[in-house]
Each structure stands twice: as C-alpha cells, then as structure tokens.
Amino acid sequence: MKAYIKNIVEINDNPVSRFFSLFIQTLILTSIVIFSMETIPDLEPQTRYILQIIETFCVIVFTIEYLLRIYVADQKVKFIFSFFGIIDFLAILPFYLSFGVDLKSLRALRFLRLFRIFKLVRYNRAINQFTRAIKSAKEQIFLFIFITLILIYFAAVGIYYFENQAQPEHFSSIFDSLWWAIITLTTVGYGDVYPITIGGKMFTFFILMIGLGIVAIPTGIISSALTKSVDTKDEE
C-alpha cells in the first residue's frame, strides 16, 4: 500500500502519478489566483465567500499531500526539515493560523501563502536549471553587480551635484538621486525625475554611454550561464 502511494506521490513515471502532480500544480495556481483576487477592493461578500471555499479545498488537499509525503518518506524527520518539507508546511500554515481571524488584519499571514508558488519548483525543470545556472556563475555575477552598484552610486552623486539646486524637490539628497540613477541606467525611464540643467543632461549622456554596457553585464552573464546549462541539459 505504502509502496503504491509512494509510487504516486514521489516517483513520476505512471499515469496516476502524472495526473496527481498535474492536479497539485493546478491547485497551486488556483490558490495563487485566489490570493490575487482577494486583493481586489470592495468584492461582493458572496464572491469572497466562494473564494474562501475554494481556498479551503486547496488547503485540505495540500494538507493531505503533505501528510502523505511524510507517510511515504523513508526518513520522516529528514523530509520535514528538507527544503520542500518546509515549503509544504509553510504553504498550509497560514490557513490554520488565520482560522476564524479576519484576514484583513493579518497581511503577513496571507503573504506567507505565497510560499505555495515554491511548491511548483518540485515539478518545474526551468527553475532547477535557473538555480543551477545562478550557482555556476555566482561569483562573477556578484563581482559585476558590485561594479554596477558603484556606477549607480557615482551616477547618483553626480546628478545630485548638478540638479540639487535646480530641483531640490526631486534631488533633495543622494538617496533620492539613487532612484533616478537606477531608473535611468536600467533604461526604464518613468519620467518622474529627470535632469533639467545643461550640466545634468550632459552628465546623463556621459553616464548612459558608459553605464548601459556595465549594467548589461550581470544580466548578460546570467543569460549565458542559463543558456549553457540548458544546452548541457539537452546533451544529457
């Protein structure tokens, strides 16, 4: 019996287990959607009621899944304190904690429910590849993120000296200028803050010319590392 359940829950090689994992994944996404919908202001009470029913159903299934996984685990303690063991636990915890309590009052708890998304990792190869890629290029990424931070800081200091007099409300301190530096060097450019002095504009040009290349590097490294890990995956 236990072997049979183990076969369904842990190993992923027969139709039943495949249906099981698909079913769990669907519930995870459902509960994420519900989580999002509950943030919509002034929902009708009955809508909120229906959402809570579905939510309850998801949690019950997750609980059963969690208990089954403990039941079939060879080393129960080891599983409970493993990454997925903790994730599975955190995924159902908020529901039981918030029992009978008005959800509005404990945002932190609701937020915990997001841990469920990590349950998907168990089934998703992409995320595994992703984490592997990050690991492989860890050092380089940190090194160049460091350069990026220095550059952003310099951009912030520079623009502060150029724009502080002209727009004290937008560039009141270097910390405010940092916001500008980030939004500009990532080329997001919301347009909430931008230089208006000649000096500031020339400085922006200068910093953009050198900045874009540098900011692009960490992202470039991640991408290449990922593509590599994908290719190796394919070769396997």
Report the site for its own copies in 89-148 (rule: CB under 8 A). 107, 111, 114, 117, 120, 124-127, 129-130, 140, 143-148
Of 89, 161, 199, 228, the one binding its own copies (CB under 8 A) is 161
Residues constituting the chain: 236
Which residues 10-69 are close enough to bind its own copies by CB under 8 A?
32, 35-37, 39-41
Of 21, 194, 197, 199, the one binding its own copies (CB under 8 A) is 194
- Say which residue the tokens 């160049």 belong to: 144
Q: How far is the CB of 196 from its own copies (least distance, A)?
A: 8
Residue 83 binds its own copies, judged by CB under 8 A = no
Burial class (CB in 10 A: 0-12, 13-18, 19+), 80: middle
Which residues 171-190 are close enough to bind its own copies by CB under 8 A?
172-175, 178-179, 182-184, 186-190
Q: How far is the CB of 25 from its own copies (least distance, A)?
A: 11
Q: How far is the CB of 40 from its own copies (least distance, A)?
A: 4
For residues 12 and 24, the answer to whether their CB atoms sit within 8 Å is no
Tokens of 199: 């000096």
- What character string, x for contact with its own copies (CB under 8 A) and - otherwise, covers 205-224? x--xx--xxxxxxxxxxxxx
Nearest to 155 by CA among 186, 191, 180: 180
Q: Which SS3 state, helix, strand or coil, does residue 151 take?
A: helix
Q: Determine the Cα angle at 131 with ends 128 and 136, to 5°.
A: 120
